[in-house]
Structure formats: structure tokens, C-alpha cells
A and B are shown apart, each in its own frame.
Chain A
């Protein structure tokens, strides 16, 4: 070891002595387990919405107490299993399994009722006991951690410890590859094993006939219609293969949709990609249903990029596969009922979209924020700093509002115009007080402090490294500061 390496070693050892006190760590972990579960949130919060968030509770109510397999009396006998895909990972599950978050079972069903859960979407932040119901879920390795104890494919019986995560005595297993993981929990070992054995990474088109990445104008030789839902990045969120009868009804709905203004399509193509697209394709039809779009035009239906039709509830009925949750743009009328979550999976938690930053970490000064899902954006959260009894203080959520794209443009312009200041990353804000705004948009976020912290400053987080900018009165005016703290 060189002299320089030895000095690095000494400096790190010396610096590490400044680590915080470890008292209360175990209790803090327990609190976090109880509090956290899943942190993403639920339910429309604001009246000013450019995009109408569709509360999952409404979806469920709209289903009229039906189930996720709706009324398909004319269908051939239901197969024993069905294919579910998320991104490029496909899995075969029992056809009777429903949809929904595994962590919210206690809001209306039994823990033994299995569901299929995809990453993202809106999930109530509640703590059921045990934490998870039966079911299968994908873990998005880009946003969640994977710490497998066992080899991929192993199945074991769950022994409940101090905190019950799963139904005691149930069977667990997971498949993983790289950062991606599929978790399975069921009453019997054979079911878990069969599902794990079915997991496969798809290169190209999944078993429901959907490309795992969006391909405009892709074709199929199947008479049954593939319904393929893609996210804003073009990755497959969900796929479904309609029966022959349902295909016929879906084609009829598409053909009945009235023509729209093609100029709207052109203007969008020059702007941004739509955020939520469902491709409905069979041998006769090749339609893209644009459900949510950020650019200044309306959702609609395109066919081969040439025609443009109005989006109708009848088309949405088929485009929104069971289990779908999310939002649609303003002006889109949802069908009644939806082919979606069974009533027993509904919830209406009233939880905010903005994250609670008030009580994580032993000092209370840290945060447990999670960027809201796309359908909740753009979003402004306002917090007040409460020193309270805890050292370090905490930010308490005061209000939130979903904002229009125009307002977001004003805010971002204000952020860009603000002068950069030199603020050491390691500096503590010993005098920090006042209010904090967090602004989230599709591909970035910013934090705007209205307080005294190394002088007033704005912290923008738009890349791997933050930049610090002086907070301006104009920016605060744009964000809105109804309480006028420190101003």
C-alpha cells in the first residue's frame, strides 16, 4: 500500500467518526416497515387538472361490482392459465387470479385472494397485516432494490417472524435476472413452482402477440386481437389476447369511432411521444389508441399514422385491459363499466400524491420521497418546516396541486432564469426554516426552499448532480406561497 493510499485510509476512518449516533436504529427500522410498505399513493387530489386522474376507486365502482373477467358469457371455456407480461418479462398465471396491489388486500379482500400486480400505478400507502396478499408481482430493478437470499427459482415455505410479510405457512419463490425480479406467493408449493417455471424474458413478441417495445405499425397474422399497452418510454406495460367474439366487438367499436381532425395528430407528432398508448392489432386492424398525451392535442385513434378518429368510450372499453389503472387526458369519457378491477379490489384512501417527508430517518431530517407516477404529473407539493421536538426538524406536507402544463412551463422558465449560486453540497442548513416546494414533472424535479439556508436558494435536481440557484421572488410567486412565510 502506497503512502497516499494509507492517507486515504486514515482520512476515511477519521471522517467516518462523524457518522450519526446509532441509537434507535432498530426501532426506527420497525417504524419504517410499518409506515412504508408501498409509498406511492392514491386518488385524485386537485381540482385544477389538465389530465383527469382516474381514481381507482371510481374504476372499481364503474365496474358495477363485476369482476375482471367481465361478462364474457359467449366466450369459449376459460383457459386454466393466462399470460401476463410487463416489459420483457412474461409469466403464466392461473386464469382466476385478479389484479391489484398485493399490499392493499385489507381494504376489501382476503390475503389469500391472489392478484397480479405490476410496478407503478397508484397504490394506497397502508399497512396490512400480513403485508402482502397472495399473487405475483414484478420488481422494477431500476427503482427498487433486489436483495435475493436464495437462488433464482427456489421455492420455500414462509415462516413468519416478528413482522408478518406474507401469510404464515404460505409458499414463496422468486425468479431474478440482473435487476429484474418476479415474486410469487401462493398457498401451495406447486402453484408457486409452476409460475416460476413459466417466467421467461421475451425477445420480440410475447405470447399475447405484443412486441415488448412499441413498434408503430407492427402486424400480426392472428385473427384474435392483441391489446398492447405501452408506457411513455415505449415499454410494454400489459398485454392481452382477446377472444374471437371480443375481437369482433372491439373492431366494431374502432370502426364506429367518428373521424377527427388529422391536424391534431400532426401537431403532436412534432412535439412529444404520447405517454400512454394502446395498440390494438389483428389481421384486419392496426390501430393505436392514444389515451394520454402531453402535447397540445387531444387523445384519439390512429391507424397506420394516416387517419385520426375520436376516442370513444366503446373503444376505451376494449383498449383498457382488466387490471388497468391510470389516468386519461381531459375530455376522455370512460366507458361504463370498465373491464377492470373487481369491486373487492377497490379503495379510496384519500392519500395525497405528495410524499410524507415528516418522519423517516432517525433524526426526522431525512425524507422518504418517491417521484410520483407519470399520471400524477406535473405536481407541486408544499411543505412547512416544523422543528418540533425531533432534532433536525421535519417537513410536513401542507398542500399539493396538480398543475397544468402551461404553469409547469412558467415554473421551469423561472428555474432556468434563476442565477446559479455556489452552495457547498456538504453544508448543513443550520438555519433552515420556512417552506419547501417540490415540483415534479415528467423527466425531472426541483426543490425550492423559501428560507434561510446558506442564503436563500433553489435546489434543482435535473440530473445526476444538482445545481443550486438563488430563489427568486418571481419563482415563489409562480409556485404560490399562500402563507407568505419569510417573504
Chain B
């Protein structure tokens, strides 16, 4: 269900998704982002639930911002950062087993190795790497999203890549 509202910027009608519609459409993408950030299915759910629970009471307002996806994505990243800050990394017993990953061009072992190595990166570097290479964001966008300078983002990405290369036995560029 969608609602047509007057745009605050110029009176142009916008299509505003209701909360359920937006979550149905974009929830899976947010969960995938959270999963790449946390490396853990339960934590990914926790992070996204947390962000959505914070967004829901303010949905009337959030749904009118220029880019709802970007706004909620920032909330997810914030929730991840905050979650990390508060709880560090913790295990939670689970009966679920992660489903097998679909086959792509890379050899299975290397994809797994890169994925696991990403999970071991320091939180700031991993966030930068994920936003850059999973979300395909520009450095400036990552800087705006994470609240650090663009130069710091570049440095985090570069250092993160160096760590990954080292772990995978690659030549450093």
C-alpha cells in the first residue's frame, strides 16, 4: 500500500511506501547487508530488527526523506556499529545451519576464504569494505554514511584490502 503525499520541497506529489510495503521490498536487501557486516545470521536479524524498530515509530517522517533506502541503510550500519560497541562479538547457539551459497564464478574455497577473512577484519575496516564492495558505494557516500572523512574511508578500505591480500597470500599492490 502506498500513499500519495505532498512533497515538502516543491509540492510535487511523491509516492510514499508504507512501512510493511517498504520492508517487504527492501527488507531482504537490508538483511543481506547486515549479514555481510556481522557475518552471523542471528546478529544480522538483530541488527535489522533493531533498525526497523527504531524506524517504525518515525515512519511517517522517514518515508518522506529524499532516499528512504539510504536512510534506513544508515540506521542498519549504525545499529551494527552500536551493537558492536555494546555487545562485542558474541555467540548465540542456534539450531539453524546457514544455507549453501549459490555457485558463482570463483572457486568455492576462495570465496569462503575471502568471506571469512572479511569477517575477521576490524569492525571499521570491515564496514568500509562491505559498503564499498558489497553496497558499491562511492567513498564520499561511505564517508557521509559512517560520519568519517573520505580520506579515512579510503584508508580503511586500503588497509582492509591489504589485510585480506595478506591473509589470502596475495601480493600486496
Contact = CB atoms under 8 A, between A and B. Distances in A.
Contacts of A391: 95-96
A300 B160 CA distance: 52
Interface string A90-118: 00000000000000000000000000000
A11 B118 contact: yes
B4 interface: no
Contacts of B139: none
B58 A19 contact: no
A407 interface: no
Interface stretch (A65-73, A192-200, A239-247, A423-431): A423-431
A11 B23 CA distance: 26
Interface in B29-48: 30-36, 39-46, 48
Given A428-B96, A430-B97, A465 B56 contact: no
Contacts of B164: 4, 8
A149 B46 contact: no
A387 B45 contact: no
Interface in A179-211: none
A427 B44 CA distance: 15
A460 B85 CA distance: 16
Contact of A15 (B34, B36, B90, B161): B36
Chain A, interface SS category: loop
Nearest to B89: A466
Chain B, interface SS category: helix
A25 B87 contact: no
B45 A10 contact: no
Contacts of B102: 14, 17
Contact of A10 (B34, B58, B105): B105
Interface in A319-374: 360-363, 365-371
B41 to A, nearest CB: 4
A255 interface: no
Contact of B161 (A8, A17, A162, A366): A8
Interface residues of A, number: 73
B24 interface: yes
Given A10-B106, A14-B101, A365 B93 contact: yes
B148 to A, nearest CB: 12
Given A149-B65, A162-B19, A363 B96 contact: yes
Given A12-B118, A162-B59, A26 B53 contact: no
Interface in A260-274: none
B115 A11 contact: yes
15 contacts: A4-B164, A4-B173, A9-B133, A9-B136, A14-B104, A14-B106, A26-B23, A26-B52, A28-B45, A29-B52, A142-B85, A145-B75, A149-B65, A360-B49, A463-B88
Given A12-B114, A25-B48, A466-B89, 7 more contacts: A2-B173, A11-B106, A15-B111, A16-B33, A19-B41, A363-B45, A428-B96
